Amino acid sequence: MPLRRLPIVLLVACTLVSAQPAPTARAAPPSVDAPPSANALWDWPLAPAHTVTRPFEPPPGPYAAGHRGVDLAGDTGQQVLAAGAGTVAFAGMVAGRPVVSVDHPNGLRTTYEPVRPGLAAGQPVSRGQPLGVLDGGHAGCPVDACLHWGLRRAEIYLDPLSLLRPPRVRLLPWP
């Protein structure tokens, strides 16, 4: 190619490249690791009513007195539902009361008592799946029957109602 034609070829090539439409900005795909909202993972273990008759009162120490869960007003024979997906860890009697425990991802365990189990240990459960039926006679319950709903991570007791609240977002100053 003669040298005289080279500037023309370059000019045409630059014109064609600049005539291409600019790429449009696309929204980044959602992160696979982004957690869904709190309410997408957890739900009340009693439906439809879920009046708290006694709140969570964390003990000041591991062996001190406290209320390691919440009591929810219910009816004897009412279905108790899994608050979240997991695996039944225990279904049986503890100190003369029927109890169901469910292990969830991230090391969480929910407990439900007094609940006559409808499932056995080792069975997977989905959120909202019946675990058993509520028995009456929970100590300190002001109504026919109360469900004691507990939550813990390892040996630390947590407020199970925190599962139902959206996470708190705090904005920090930009340095």
* pTM of structure: 0.72
Q: Is residue 6 part of a domain?
A: no
Q: Is the dihedral of CA 136, 137, 142, 144 positive or negative?
A: positive
CATH of the domain at 154: 2.70.70.10
Q: Is residue 98 part of a domain?
A: yes
Q: Is residue 24 part of a domain?
A: no
Q: Is residue 47 part of a domain?
A: yes
- Full residue range of the structural domain in which residue 108 is found: 38-56+67-163
pLDDT tens per residue across span 42-97: 999 999 867 999 999 988 887 888 889 999 999 999 999 999 999 999 999 999 99
**Residues in the chain, total:** 175
Q: Is residue 27 part of a domain?
A: no
Q: In 3D, which of 72, 64, 74, 163 has the Cα closest to residue 110? A: 163
Q: What's the domain count of the chain?
A: 1
pLDDT given at position 15: 42
